[in-house]
Amino acid sequence: PLLESLLAADTDGDGLPDGAQPNSLGPPWYGVVPWLAGTTLAAWEAGALLADRSGDPRMAARCRERAAKGRAA
């Protein structure tokens, strides 16, 4: 579910969250927030490893694709 929520937050498919980003500081943020972008890239990499270990090559490939796009953005 966490990776699916990250996929949903990436509304333009560039690997970085740009949809509504809930936070503990007030209303949701929109657009690319640098520190959230960095943690999202780490989450894509970790998600790919976890998907590999759990036998889900499709999700691993999706995570790697988003990580590559996010690094290039």
DSSP structural state of residue 30: -
Please state the pTM of the whole predicted model. Answer: 0.85
Average pLDDT over residues 53-64: 96
Q: What are the pLDDT digits (tens) for 20-53?
A: 888 899 999 888 889 889 999 999 999 999 999 9
In this prediction, residue 6 carries a pLDDT of 86
Mind listing the pLDDT tens digit for each residue in 62-71? Answer: 999 999 999 9
| pLDDT > 80? residue 7 | yes
d(CA 24, CA 63): 26
